[in-house]
């Protein structure tokens, strides 16, 4: 079975790529991912706040008033101790490139161009094969229009693309008013790949302590449906490489992502929960399924069940909403 796939101009040995997570915090961790079967690794993110915290002014505004009351100290983590600093991040990429044979994809997380431009270039110089831009932006201003939010994404892409020569992917939120138009605009701007979707982590409320708390909830396979739908809708319409990164836990999930039109399926939660050896297990299960269903290569599957290739295209559209509601009603009546 030929599991090879092309993503961001790179020929990968298979479509399983560990997404940005603590698993890539060390060279040893990256080597273990390669040994487990990963075809590439997306580095954990270098945050904009880590880059700009070296600035006196940001340091002043983050620390000013922190003695006013205890809770104010929890606004931000200590940026000098969160993961590693910017220089250590670049050194890690450089050492990882020497230690492994698979591609290394750098990751920048933020909301403005600022220090991104310099560090995008430095990540390229450190040896990264590609760069993933994770624009984690939650617009909270009641005066900020949707078009202004979209320009944040396109402006960042424009500035980074003018700085680096390596391929650039962008990790998108599902919250745009028109995802299809946003995808097309980014494609027109030169993005090499779109990663669907970013999981925004919402805070929780502690009713006993009356505090807002942060709780990390890992994904499950049910979350696959949203990116699966949009990759299926956009495949063949928007000329970029697609990656699915939410809800990939099993070989069925990975196969569904490929059938919808993704070039790679990215996972983190499954590996954090059940160990990195799951990569090899999933690949073996994929091979068996391909053999049973007479597929000789991954490339045969990509987009096979996308909107443009299925007979019942309404399954991707509004008509399916009414159909599902009707089927649920019929199911209840038969009981």
The pLDDT of residue 77: 45
Q: In which band, very low, low, confident or very high, does the pLDDT at 70 lie, cut at 50, 70 and 90?
A: very low
The pLDDT of residue 317: 65
The pLDDT of residue 42: 97
- Chain-centre distance for alpha carbon 308: 24
The pLDDT of residue 322: 60
The pLDDT of residue 213: 84
| pTM for the predicted model, two decimal places | 0.84
When the pLDDT of each residue in the chain is averaged and rounded to a whole number, the result is: 85
Q: Is residue 14 scored above 80 in pLDDT?
A: yes
Q: Is the preceding omega at residue 197 within 30 degrees of 0, hence cis?
A: yes
Q: In which band, very low, low, confident or very high, does the pLDDT at 330 lie, cut at 50, 70 and 90?
A: low
Residue bearing the bigger pLDDT, 228 or 333? 228
Q: What are phi and psi of 212, to 5 degrees?
A: -90, 125
102 token code pair: 């698979």
The pLDDT of residue 72: 38
The pLDDT of residue 118: 81
Q: Is residue 136 scored above 80 in pLDDT?
A: no
DSSP-derived secondary structure for 278-313: HHHHHHHHHHHHHHHTT--BSTTTTTTTSTTT-S-G
d(CA 113, CA 200) in angstroms, rounded, equals: 20
Read off the pLDDT of each residue in 10-33 and give the average, rounded to a whole number. 96
**pLDDT (tens digit per residue) in 143-194:** 989 899 899 899 999 999 999 999 999 999 898 999 999 999 999 999 999 9
d(CA 279, CA 12) in angstroms, rounded, equals: 14
Give the helix ranges, DSSP H, for 1-55. 27-36, 48-52
Give the helix ranges, DSSP H, for the chain. 27-36, 48-52, 56-63, 86-99, 116-125, 146-161, 179-188, 225-234, 251-260, 269-274, 278-292, 319-333
Which domains, ranges and CATH numbers included, belong to the chain? Answer: 5-304 (3.20.20.70)
The pLDDT of residue 76: 42
The pLDDT of residue 48: 66
Read off the pLDDT of each residue in 285-314 and give the average, rounded to a whole number. 90
**pLDDT (tens digit per residue) in 235-293:** 999 999 999 998 999 999 999 999 999 999 999 999 999 999 999 999 999 999 999 99
Percent of the chain with pLDDT over 70: 80
**pLDDT (tens digit per residue) in 52-66:** 655 444 444 444 444
d(CA 283, CA 35) in angstroms, rounded, equals: 13
The pLDDT of residue 110: 74
Under the phi-then-psi rule, with left for phi > 0, alpha for psi from -120 to 50, and beta for the rest, what region is 210? Answer: left
Percent of the chain with pLDDT over 90: 62
């Amino acid at each position: 079975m030929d599991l090879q796939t092309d993503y961001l101009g790179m020929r990968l040995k298979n479509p399983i790529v560990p997404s940005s997570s603590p698993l890539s915090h060390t060279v040893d961790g990256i080597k273990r991912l390669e040994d487990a079967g990963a075809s590439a690794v997306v580095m954990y993110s270098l945050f904009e706040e880590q880059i700009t915290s070296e600035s006196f002014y940001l340091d002043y505004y983050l620390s000013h008033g922190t003695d006013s009351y205890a809770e104010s100290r929890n606004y931000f983590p200590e940026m000098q101790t969160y993961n590693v600093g910017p220089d250590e991040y670049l050194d890690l990429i450089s050492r990882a490139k020497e230690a492994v044979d698979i591609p290394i994809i750098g990751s920048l997380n933020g909301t403005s161009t600022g220090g991104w431009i310099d560090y995008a270039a430095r990540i390229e110089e450190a040896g990264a094969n590609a760069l993933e831009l994770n624009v984690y932006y939650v617009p909270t201003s009641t005066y900020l229009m949707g078009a202004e939010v979209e320009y944040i994404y396109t402006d960042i892409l424009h500035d980074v693309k003018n700085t680096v020569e390596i391929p650039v992917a962008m990790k998108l939120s599902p919250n745009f008013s028109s995802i299809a138009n946003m995808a097309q605009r980014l494609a027109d701007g030169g993005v090499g790949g779109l990663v669907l979707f970013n999981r925004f982590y919402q805070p929780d409320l502690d009713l006993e302590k009356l505090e807002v708390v942060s709780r990390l909830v890992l994904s499950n396979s049910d979350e696959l449906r949203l990116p699966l739908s949009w990759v299926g809708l956009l495949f063949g319409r928007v000329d970029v490489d697609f990656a699915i990164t939410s809800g990939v836990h099993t070989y069925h999930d990975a196969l569904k992502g490929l059938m919808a039109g993704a070039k790679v399926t990215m996972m983190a939660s499954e590996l954090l929960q059940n160990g990195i050896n799951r990569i090899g297990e999933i690949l073996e299960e994929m091979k068996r399924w391909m053999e049973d269903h007479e597929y000789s290569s991954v490339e045969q599957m990509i987009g096979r069940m996308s909107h443009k290739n299925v007979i019942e295209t309404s399954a991707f559209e509004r008509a399916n909403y009414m159909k599902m509601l009707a089927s649920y009603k019929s199911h209840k009546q038969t009981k």
